[in-house]
Amino acid sequence: MSETVNPHLTAATATGDADHVAVDWDAGNDQWWDWYMSLADNPEAAGPLVAGPRWDPGPLPDHDAMVAELATPYALSAEAVRSFATEGFVKLPDVFSPGVIEVLRRRLRELLDAAVDPAVGFQSLEMMWLTDPVVRAAVLSPRIGRICAQLLQVDAVRLYHDNALSKESGAGRTPWHYDDHHFPLDTSDAVTAWAPLQPTPREMGPLAFARGMEVWRAASELSFDKHGTSYDRTVSEHFRDTGVEVEDGPYALGEVSFHSALAFHTAGPNRTDVARMVLANTYYADGARIVGNPTMISGDWRKFLPGVGPGELAVSERNPLVG
């Protein structure tokens, strides 16, 4: 465990032992990400950046064509559903066309540039769908919502929140974690659709997963460290020592991964000269409630569920049914 207090924490969130998280997050979600990314172990000596991908997006769709594409059902195979249930994640090809990806990439870049300090290495922005029609088309996409419901094997899913994530050139690792530890929901029937907005080679830090829906059981026994990098390091060592396989391959253009709230995941540094941009949206099974005692690891969750208190049904005007 770390001996020093994490500089991103306030007096209230820094209090107690390093694994004490049973306190409300008392800042914004930007500050949450700054804190969270500071918990990543970055042991490798950083060499020079390499050339990132260059790609041809082809013709760009107009808004109606984009909405129509995002409403078209995806032919999800029984094998994909089975693989999600056993592995905890699945990577699906051709979920978005190159044109839709390019439209989203350009819009997310504009939104991030308007909202986030360019010096921040891991840039994030949520709730864009409330005001931006392009983002709304992707976040409320029936295609995505149906894939999520089919993977979770539930009747319907609700939106938790959208997330633009840009890991800028040179930014470091994302620490190992599983989202059930984060979401203030009383269900683990939650899934994140992580959609990269460029082809994403290994050197760019694609999302990587520990294989196995049950891996979280042993790993969740490891002591969290809210001040330093020891938790991330211990999880890596635990996976190595227990032979847990990690899928850390590249993503082709249009490929989207779907990971369960129980799937342990991480991401490498972005060692390319191109920003690793992603639209990551989370959905949960209709009928879920807020847990009794959300923790600081849930960040400013009230922004995503306004007016909903602990123990209540997770439904507000910001959590529409999708798909």
Applying CB under 6 A, the residues found at the interface with ligand AKG are: 165, 167, 174, 179, 192, 194, 207, 265, 267, 278, 280
Burial (Cβ within 10 Å: 0-12, 13-18, ≥19) of residue 44: exposed
Q: Which is nearer to ligand AKG, 97 or 192 (CB)?
A: 192
Give me the least distance between CB of 83 and ligand AKG, in Å please: 18
Q: Which is nearer to ligand AKG, 61 or 201 (CB)?
A: 201
Amino acid letter at 193? A
Give me the least distance between CB of 110 and ligand AKG, in Å please: 20
- CA-to-CA distance for 99 and 69, rounded, in angstroms? 10
State the DSSP H helix or E strand holding residue 69, giving kind and residue range, or none if neither: helix 63-71
Give me the least distance between CB of 207 and ligand AKG, in Å please: 6
If you write DSSP's letter for every residue of 114-141 in order, what string do you get?
HHS-TT-SEEEE--GGGT-HHHHHHHT-
Q: Which is nearer to ligand AKG, 67 or 173 (CB)?
A: 173
Q: Which is nearer to ligand AKG, 197 or 207 (CB)?
A: 207
Give me the least distance between CB of 280 and ligand AKG, in Å please: 4
- CA-to-CA distance for 159 and 148, rounded, in angstroms? 11
CA-nearest of 58, 266, 296, 281 to 167 is 266
| 305, two tokens | 């569920």
Give me the least distance between CB of 191 and ligand AKG, in Å please: 10
- CA-to-CA distance for 115 and 118, rounded, in angstroms? 9
Q: Which is nearer to ligand AKG, 256 or 267 (CB)?
A: 267
Give me the least distance between CB of 209 and ligand AKG, in Å please: 10
- CA-to-CA distance for 5 and 9, rounded, in angstroms? 8
State the DSSP H helix or E strand holding residue 246, giving kind and residue range, or none if neither: strand 246-247
Q: Which is nearer to ligand AKG, 67 or 314 (CB)?
A: 314
